[in-house]
């Protein structure tokens, strides 16, 4: 069974996931990074082919990732897909949250396709907050804590519950 990390852009899913996988001695899968490796930059996919095309690629990567015993980091919008939400019902899911202030520091000059600044980030968070919360079996805030502390908290929880 996979251990899945969800949350908004800039919540630290990749950073936390990579270290968590090491501690739990599991593979780490970042579905966005797999898409980039196979199909090119996400911003280019959105621009050249549109969001529906990207979401189809994302869905295929999620199915592949959830088939293993990995720590899996999903892109921020992956939870919008009803099939993905159904798949997550049978997995331990950790929601990583981040404050607006911390997100602002993290997204600075990023090239995230749906985030063109802190206001668009906040709209995404507001639109998805209830959905994220409904899927989570554990919630951890990453705003002002060292990654190592967040990872330790999740690892302890995973050993006892996942």
121 vs 48, 77, 87, 97, CA distance in Å? 22, 12, 26, 13
CA dihedral sign, ordered 72, 93, 153, 143 = positive
- Residue 73 clears pLDDT 70, i.e. is over it: yes
Write down the mean pLDDT value for the chain: 92
With H, G, I as helix, E, B as strand and everything else as coil, classify residue 5. strand
Which tokens is 18 given? 């990579």
Q: Could you tell me the pTM of the whole model?
A: 0.91
| pLDDT interval class at 116 (50, 70, 90) | low
| pLDDT interval class at 114 (50, 70, 90) | very low
In this prediction, residue 103 carries a pLDDT of: 87
- Residue 62 clears pLDDT 60, i.e. is over it: yes
For range 82-91, the mean pLDDT:
96
3-161: CATH, from 3.40.50.300, 3.30.70.100, 1.10.540.10, 1.10.1060.10: 3.40.50.300
């Amino acid at each position: 069974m996979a251990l899945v990390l969800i949350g908004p852009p800039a919540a630290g899913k990749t950073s936390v996931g990579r270290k968590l996988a090491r501690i739990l001695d599991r593979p780490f899968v970042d579905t966005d990074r797999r898409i980039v490796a196979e199909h090119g930059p996400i911003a280019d996919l959105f621009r050249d082919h549109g969001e529906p095309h990207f979401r189809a690629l994302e869905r295929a990567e999620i199915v592949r990732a959830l088939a293993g015993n990995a720590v899996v980091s999903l892109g921020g919008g992956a939870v919008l897909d009803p099939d993905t939400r159904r798949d997550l019902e049978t997995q331990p899911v950790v929601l990583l949250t981040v404050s607006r202030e911390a997100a602002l520091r993290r997204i600075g000059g990023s090239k995230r396709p749906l985030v063109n600044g802190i206001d668009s980030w906040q709209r995404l968070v507001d639109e998805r907050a209830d959905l994220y919360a409904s899927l989570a079996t554990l919630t951890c805030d990453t705003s002002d804590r060292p990654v190592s502390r967040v990872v330790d908290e999740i690892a302890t929880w995973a050993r006892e519950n996942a």
